[in-house]
Amino acid sequence: MAATNILKIENLSFERNDALLFEPVSFELNSGEALHIEGANGAGKTTLFQLLIKLLEPCTGDVYFRGQHLSQCHFEYLSDILFIGHQSAVKAALTVEENLSWMSPDGTSTEKITAALQFVGLEHYASIPCYRLSAGQHRRVALARLMTTSATLWYLDEPFAALDKQGVGFIENCMQQHLDQGGCIVFSSHQDLVKIAARSYRLNPLREVV
Amino acid sequence: MHNYLSAGFIAYLTRDLLLGVRNKTDLVKPLIFFLLVSALVPLSIAPEAERLAQLAPGMIWIFAVLATLLSVERLFSDDLQDGSLEQMLMSPNLLIMPILGKITAHWVMIGLPLTLLSPVLGVWFSLPTVAVTPMMLSLAIGTAVLCLIGAVGAALTLPRQGGVLLALLVMPLYMPVLIFGSATIQSAVDGLDWTAPLVILVALLAIAIALCPLAINAGLRLAKNG
């Protein structure tokens, strides 16, 4: 099966205080491919993700989704992406199940939510309020969304932060499954991954990274 | 259309109501403030029924404004801290629907209880019974406007919790609500037609529903982009 082009980035750049943050970014991503964004702390990886999810407007550059410029397919693009950032977007007062159910697309069945919790090893915590969980377990709740989403393109900013070895294994499996099904992943991580065959893209900062 | 409602408005409304029920302290604080301060007035001013009834419209509305202001500053700050705001801002649906869902939940948890508690204040202030219905109607509509305006202030003062800046920002915008809200009760106390100021409150609510979500949207994006 011929790979379909999902994402094309051309010369994307962002300015803060009248200075470019990093060298203009260009890459392409076909179905079934993963891209590992590399860069030192402060290189601008999170900013790049924020540009990709349209939280920030780039100074220059274009983004194409499935061959169409984003200005022509804004709604389709935002409906078909999933972003998990540094902050887990988990509400401490809600239970694990309530959080996942709320974060999942409309009409996600209880069985699917239970299966997702099982996958990340939280099946016994379903009715526990999230304020009683550890940071790693919080992260697992957020990442359980990977099992319930129908989005093709995943943006994962440091998904393995706070996870133990077993948790990393769960998420790597989940990512591999998504790639096998023709999905795409753009992620950043300081961890060496063993199961995911990803291309690397090094983000070159244009200001001194301390 | 149904999808817009279910994905945005209803989802945020139910989630915030659930969060409100779980964080009861945040919910109860403004209500306790409203009741306590109102209870102090008849004690500090001579408890003459006629005098209290004259003061009641203004007093009740001032306390309602302060109670709403007290509760509104955390409307978006928790979402900003835990990353939910990021998820809300990248929603493919019209952002005004989640925003209106959150504000409606806030009104159900603050404005509605204030309205339902107000007859108690009516008794404390020796308010004539004819004024109770206008008071409740004006509070129900007026607190909804206060929540919408307060949310604009809360969005514009992010990432900090508003405090004094929030009060300075929204107080001038609260004034028309305060004036027409207390005028509704005052007219009823004086035996005049109280529907005219109430209709103006309804008009203010319509304007606020149309304009505030747009301002909140801009404020939230500004806050997120630093």
Q: Are strands A25-30 and A68-69 parallel, antiparallel or unpaired?
A: unpaired
Tokens linked to B130 = 């004819």
Q: Is A194 a member of any domain?
A: yes
CB–CB of B120/B140 below 8 Å? no
Residue B204 above 50 pLDDT? yes
In the block, residue with structure tokens 């509305």: B61
Cβ pair B68, B150 in contact under 8 A: yes
Spatial distance between the Cα atoms of A14 and B69, rounded to a whole number of angstroms: 37
Q: Hey, is A75 helix, strand or coil?
A: helix
**pLDDT > 70? residue A118:** yes
- Measure the CA–CA gap between B45 and B26, rounded to whole angstroms: 30
* C-beta separation of B32 from B71 below 8 A: no
| pLDDT score of B1 more than 60 | no
Chain mean pLDDT for chain A:
88
Q: Which helix (H) or strand (E) holds A201?
A: strand A199-202
**Residue-wise pLDDT tens digits, A8-41:** 999 999 988 888 888 899 999 999 999 999 888 8
In angstroms, the CA B87 to CA A82 distance is: 9
How close is the nearest chain A Cα to the Cα of B109, in Å? 16
Q: Nearest Cβ partner of B83 from A78, A89, A94?
A: A89
Task: Tell me the three state secondary structure of residue B1.
Answer: coil
The answer to whether residue A92 sits within a structural domain is no
Where helices occur in B157-194 by DSSP H, the ranges are 163-189
pLDDT over 80 at B93, yes or no: no
- Amino acid sitting at position A157: D
Full-model pTM: 0.87
Specify the pLDDT at position A121. 86
Q: Is residue A87 part of a domain?
A: no
Alpha carbons within 13 angstroms on the beta-carbon side of residue B160 total 6
Sequence-distant (≥ 6) Cβ neighbours of residue A134 within 8 angstroms: none
CB of B2 within 8 Å of a chain A CB? The answer is no
Residues of B in contact with A55 (CB under 8 A): 86, 89-90, 221, 224-225
User: Shortest Cα distance from B97 to chain A (angstroms)?
Assistant: 15
Distance from CA of B79 to the nearest CA of A (A): 8
Structure tokens at B56: 């009641």
Q: Which chain B residues in 47-76 lie under 8 Å from chain A, judged by CB atoms?
A: none
Yes or no, beta carbons of B89 and A129 under 8 Å apart: no
| DSSP codes of every residue in B141-152 | HHHHHHHHHHHH
Q: What pLDDT was estimated at residue A127?
A: 92
- A126 in any annotated domain: no
Give residue A185's pLDDT band: very low, low, confident or very high (50, 70, 90).
very high
**So what's the pLDDT on residue B210?**
94
- Check if A83 contacts B (Cβ < 8 Å): yes
Task: Estimate the share of chain B in helix, then strand, then coil, as percent rounded to the nearest 5.
Answer: 85, 0, 15
Cβ of B226: how many Cβ atoms within 10 Å? 7
Closest CA to A89 of A104, A99, A97: A99
Q: Would the pLDDT of B7 be above 90? A: no
Find, in chain A, the residue whose alpha carbon is nearest to that of B93.
A75
Whole-number percent of chain A with pLDDT over 90: 45
List, for residues B13-64, the tens digit of each pLDDT value.
999 999 999 988 888 888 888 888 888 888 887 778 888 888 889 999 999 9
Residues of chain A neighbouring B19 (CB-CB closer than 8 A): 91, 93-94
* A102 interaction partners in chain B (CB closer than 8 Å): 11, 15
Q: What is the C-alpha to C-alpha distance for residues B134 and B139, in angstroms, rounded to an integer?
A: 8
Number of compact structural domains in chain A:
1
In a domain, A153, yes or no: no
Strands (E), B35-180: none
For residue B79, CA distances in Å to A28, B82, B95, B102, B161 come to 33, 5, 15, 11, 12
pLDDT in tens, A190-210: 877 667 777 888 888 776 654
Looking at chain B, the number of H-run helices and the number of E-run strands are 11, 0
Q: Is the pLDDT of residue B87 over 70?
A: yes
**What residue has token string 């169409």?**
A68
Question: The tokens 């948790």 sit on which residue?
Answer: A167
A36: containing domain = 1-79+187-210
- Give the 3-state secondary structure of residue A202: strand
Residue A134 falls inside a structural domain: no
Contacts of B222 (CB under 8 A, 6+ apart): B156
Residue A89 token pair:
């977007």
User: B99-138, pLDDT tens digit by residue?
Assistant: 999 999 999 999 999 999 999 988 888 889 999 999 999 9
The tens digit of pLDDT for each residue in A143-169 reads 999 988 889 999 999 888 888 888 888
Does residue A111 form part of some domain? no
Does residue A192 form part of some domain? yes
For residue A56, give the CATH number of its domain: 3.40.50.300
With an 8 Å Cβ cutoff, is B23 touching chain A?
A: yes
CA angle A79, A85, A89 (to 5 degrees): 80
AA letter at B180? F
Q: Which amino acid is at A14?
A: F
Q: Residues with Cβ < 8 Å from A109, sequence gap 6 or more?
A: none
Task: Give pLDDT, residue B226.
Answer: 63
Mutate to test the interface with B, among A47, A87, A130, A155 (most CBs of B within 10 A): A87
Half-sphere exposure of A138 (CA within 13 A, CB side): 20
B133 — contact with chain A (CB < 8 Å)?
no
- pLDDT one-digit tens code per residue, B140-169: 999 999 999 999 999 999 877 667 888 899
